């Protein structure tokens, strides 16, 4: 305590609060402290944890017992991919339950002696837009049946079945029930930006496993941008050789990714972003840029910064550009089987066009008065190339200009209005606005981002043109160690928004199910939880603590568990464009901290519930249990500052967190006091209110690019004790 007091005085600006804090600390109520450790944060009801939740489900009495003898029989006219899916199902359930199934590896040639899981589909599905993914799942105590039109529907049924496996004292079982399920939207995807940070084949395949688990059916790869060109071109090898720092997919690797996706009923959509976001193309081929000098504005270098809108842009007035793109897209259209091809089209600032006299003259001569008109001319030429190669064109909002052919698809990132406008004019459109998972927003925020709210008036034909949506994982702030923690588990909730009925939107229930799904995703390989200790150890490691153990990292862990990284574009703004760049190590505090802090969320919910129930005698027991949970947390955070400060003696990189740690401790102390005052019906003094208000105000400021997420709970409590 003495140490804590000294630190309080040292931290400038906190002095007033610090001295007041000491007064409050001494008046701590010991009665409250004595009832800590009496309850856990949440009582996890043993109910179904499906995500996305099926369209129709009817739960009955009874259990299908899983045993080592449980065996799958595939029937009907399946594609080979259903056998792979069934084998994955067996291995995954085996890993989760420890059951060593007698059935080893299913092939069409096997005869299954006593099957109890029947998977039946009428025809081989096609991994393409709009394919039938519906299925029916019937579970009785004796057998399980999946019935589907296509093997892709059957694979979706297997994903549901995997989520239903649960346990009791007698072992593992699947509850008896009937499911009739189909997706609400046919396009449910994840966009992964492999250009700003590159991700290896294994990491991409891992995402495909995870997407399959939550029934998503599109992986959109953003393959080129100012910072990198990430796919081998045999025709124009200087693209990947000079535009990637050696970090690119070979075509053979890409074929492997496409095959892997196909086995899971997932489409791969390639995106090459043009005409802007294209610096990486011009390292090897400056002649296709819009630079007007003898060197075409070059020599070009890979862009290392983010957030600065760089100028290089494809030259739309040269026929040579289209000859080049004709060859390039032909090569890529042959590689990628999907009918859709994404050409980007976003954020072209047009500066290079404005500075090039030839381009300006061309615009005048051809009645193209604006950069948008010129870009539209470019897009139409690209559309011709893609159409010739039997592809449909898609792009971001910016490609949607008056008069573009109805065959294109618009991906809306700037706002929903553009989405509805596109649909009203007869265009197919996808929603990504509100699904930007790089912006550190809560799962709830994304979950409630309804593509078709009641307030929007669209005819049924127009509504059908909203094909679905994509979570967008832009990669400025992610590398291999933290990628999964930004995608998962939040994307599972987006998957539900796009698969399940619009009325499936209870946030509390979503979070309950998300916890279970998070574990399932771990089993499928996601590193969103398991990498945290690795990152924490790295932050704490020093010559004095060469291999930090759990207790060494605990004070840091306690603190970061209630922090979230600043949201939206704030981190880049705080950092400035010079430092906001490709090689910034993503191993520091805001990287280790994860979006949507589970601990803080539970704490806020517990506080709300406690304040609502504390005067209700019929809920006295539950309310006491909630209070005990609150106290246990507050005590932990209050006492965490001293060991945290001790860590700073060796862990330099944590210094920026010192004030957060202190403020968390102080917030916890005033909260303990407030609980005590409530308990004893003692009204808050004017001095207490003033101090608490100042403290909250100060604690709300971001530090180390992170924010303390229990503050709303402290505010609720302060209001209650102030009689508001
Ligand atoms: C985008 O976020 N520029 C599509």
Give the tens place of pLDDT for each residue, 332-345: 999 999 999 999 99
Q: How far is the CA of 347 from the centre of ligand 1 (A)?
A: 7
pLDDT band at 16; cut points 50, 70, 90: very low
- CA–CA distances in Å: residue 587 to residues 199, 482, 592, 653, 709: 16, 8, 7, 10, 21
Contact 468, 482 (CB under 8 A): no
Q: What is the pLDDT of residue 84?
A: 97
Token readout for 378 is: 């470019």
Contact 210, 521 (CB under 8 A): yes
pLDDT band at 365; cut points 50, 70, 90: very high
Q: Which residue has tokens 């000079």?
A: 242
String of DSSP letters for 521-543: HHHTT--TTTHHHHHHHHHH--S
Q: What is the pLDDT of residue 14?
A: 45
Of all atoms in ligand 1, which is nearest to the CA of residue 436?
A: 2
Q: Determine whether 29 is exposed, middle or buried from the number of CB atoms within 10 Å of its CB (0-12, 13-18, 19+).
A: middle
Ligand 1 pocket, mutate which of 273, 347, 438 (most atoms under 8 A from CB)? 347
pLDDT band at 502; cut points 50, 70, 90: very high
In this structure, the residues whose C-beta lies within 6 A of any atom of ligand 1 are: 346-347, 396, 413
What is the tens place of the pLDDT at every residue in 581-605?
A: 999 999 999 999 999 999 999 999 9
Q: Would the pLDDT of 471 be above 80? A: yes
The residue-averaged pLDDT of 405-430 equals 96
Share of the chain above pLDDT 70, in %: 93
Over its C-alpha atoms, the chain yields an Rg (Å, rounded) of 28
Q: How far is the CA of 46 from the centre of ligand 1 (A)?
A: 41
- CA–CA distances in Å: residue 216 to residues 52, 449, 528, 543, 557: 10, 17, 18, 46, 33
- CA–CA distances in Å: residue 469 to residues 178, 216, 220: 28, 10, 11
CA distance 519 to 529: 9
pLDDT band at 690; cut points 50, 70, 90: very high
Share of the chain above pLDDT 90, in %: 90
CA distance 609 to 629: 12
Pairing type for strands 144-150 and 135-139 reads antiparallel
pLDDT band at 308; cut points 50, 70, 90: low
Active site residues: 347
User: Domains of the chain by range and CATH?
Assistant: 56-181 (3.30.379.10), 187-506 (3.20.20.80), 550-721 (no CATH)
Q: Would the pLDDT of 296 be above 90? A: yes
CA distance 699 to 21: 14
Mean of the per-residue pLDDT values for the chain? Answer: 93
Q: What is the pLDDT of residue 113?
A: 87
b/e sequence 527-550, b meaning 16+ C-beta within 10 Å:
bbbebbeebbbbbbbeeeeeebee
Q: How far is the CA of 472 from the centre of ligand 1 (A)?
A: 9
What is the tens place of the pLDDT at every residue in 219-268?
A: 999 999 999 999 999 999 999 999 999 999 999 999 999 999 999 999 99
Q: How far is the CA of 413 from the centre of ligand 1 (A)?
A: 6
pLDDT band at 20; cut points 50, 70, 90: very low
Of all atoms in ligand 1, which is nearest to the CA of residue 474?
A: 2
If you take atom 3 of ligand 1, which residue's CA is the nearest one? 346
Candidates 189, 194, 193; CA nearest to 214 is 189
- CA–CA distances in Å: residue 424 to residues 76, 400, 435, 460: 41, 13, 22, 11
If you take atom 2 of ligand 1, which residue's CA is the nearest one? 413
Q: What is the pLDDT of residue 183?
A: 98
Candidates 604, 639, 559, 610; CA nearest to 711 is 604
Q: What is the pLDDT of residue 578?
A: 78
């Amino acid at each position: 305590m003495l140490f804590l007091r000294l630190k309080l005085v040292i931290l400038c600006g906190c002095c007033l609060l610090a001295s007041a804090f000491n007064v409050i600390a001494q008046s701590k109520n010991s009665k409250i402290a004595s009832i800590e450790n009496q309850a856990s944060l949440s009582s996890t009801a043993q109910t179904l944890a499906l995500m996305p939740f099926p369209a129709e489900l009817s739960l009955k009495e009874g259990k299908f017992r899983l045993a080592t003898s449980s065996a799958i029989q595939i029937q009907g006219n399946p594609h080979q991919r259903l056998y792979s899916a069934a084998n994955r199902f067996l291995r995954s359930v085996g890993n989760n339950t420890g059951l060593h199934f007698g059935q080893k590896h299913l092939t069409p040639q096997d005869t299954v002696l006593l099957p109890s899981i029947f998977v039946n589909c009428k025809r081989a599905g096609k991994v393409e837009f709009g394919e039938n993914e519906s299925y029916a799942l019937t579970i009785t105590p004796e057998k399980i049946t999946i019935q589907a039109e296509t093997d892709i529907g059957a694979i979706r049924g297997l994903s549901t079945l995997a989520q239903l496996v649960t346990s009791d004292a007698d072992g593992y079982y699947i509850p008896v029930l009937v499911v009739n399920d189909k997706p609400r939207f046919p396009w449910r995807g994840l966009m992964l930006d492999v250009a700003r940070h590159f991700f290896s084949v294994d990491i991409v395949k891992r995402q495909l496993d995870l997407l399959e688990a939550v029934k998503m059916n599109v992986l959109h790869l953003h393959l080129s941008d100012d910072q990198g060109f990430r796919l081998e071109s045999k025709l124009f090898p200087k693209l990947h050789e000079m535009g990637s720092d050696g970090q690119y997919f070979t075509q053979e690797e890409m074929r492997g990714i496409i095959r892997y996706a196909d086995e899971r009923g997932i489409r791969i959509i390639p995106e090459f972003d043009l005409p802007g976001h294209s610096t990486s193309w011009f390292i090897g081929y400056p002649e296709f840029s819009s630079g007007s000098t003898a060197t075409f504005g070059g020599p070009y270098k890979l862009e290392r910064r983010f957030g600065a809108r760089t100028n290089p842009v494809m030259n739309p007035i040269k026929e040579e550009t289209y000859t080049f793109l004709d060859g390039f897209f032909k090569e890529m259209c042959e590689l990628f089987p999907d009918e859709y091809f994404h050409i980007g089209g976003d954020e072209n600032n047009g500066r290079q066009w404005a500075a090039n006299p030839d381009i300006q003259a061309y615009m005048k001569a051809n009645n193209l008065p604006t950069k948008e008109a010129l870009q539209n001319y470019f897009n139409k030429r690209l559309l011709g190339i893609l159409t010739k190669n039997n592809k449909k064109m898609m792009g971001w909002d910016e490609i949607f200009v008056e008069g573009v052919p109805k065959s294109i698809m618009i991906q809306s990132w700037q706002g929903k209005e553009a989405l509805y406008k596109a649909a009203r004019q007869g265009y197919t459109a996808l929603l990504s606005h509100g699904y930007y998972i790089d912006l550190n927003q809560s799962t709830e925020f994304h979950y409630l981002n309804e593509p078709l709210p009641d307030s929007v008036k669209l005819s049924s034909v127009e509504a059908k043109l909203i094909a679905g949506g994509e979570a967008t994982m832009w990669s400025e702030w992610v590398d291999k160690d933290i990628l999964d923690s930004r995608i998962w588990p939040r994307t599972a909730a987006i998957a539900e928004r796009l698969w399940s009925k619009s009325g499936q939107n209870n946030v509390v229930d979503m979070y309950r199910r998300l916890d279970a799904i998070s574990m399932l995703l771990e089993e499928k390989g996601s590193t969103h939880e398991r990498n945290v200790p690795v990152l924490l150890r790295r932050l704490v490691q020093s010559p004095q603590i060469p291999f930090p153990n759990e207790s060494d990292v605990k004070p840091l862990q306690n603190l970061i568990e209630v922090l979230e990284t600043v949201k939206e574009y704030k981190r880049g703004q705080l950092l400035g464009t010079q430092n906001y760049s490709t090689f910034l190590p993503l191993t520091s505090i805001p990287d280790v901290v994860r979006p949507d802090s589970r601990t803080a969320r539970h704490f806020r919910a517990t506080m709300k519930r406690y304040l609502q129930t504390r005067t209700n005698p019929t809920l006295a027991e539950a309310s006491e249990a909630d209070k005990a949970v609150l106290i246990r947390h507050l005590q932990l955070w209050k006492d965490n500052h001293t060991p945290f400060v001790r860590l700073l003696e060796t862990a330099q990189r944590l210094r920026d967190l010192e004030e957060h740690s202190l403020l968390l401790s102080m917030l916890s102390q005033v909260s303990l006091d407030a609980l005590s005052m409530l308990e004893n019906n003692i009204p808050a003094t004017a001095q207490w209110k003033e101090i608490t208000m100042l403290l909250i105000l100060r604690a709300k400021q971001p530090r180390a690019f992170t924010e303390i997420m229990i503050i709303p709970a402290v505010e609720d409590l302060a209001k209650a004790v102030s009689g508001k």
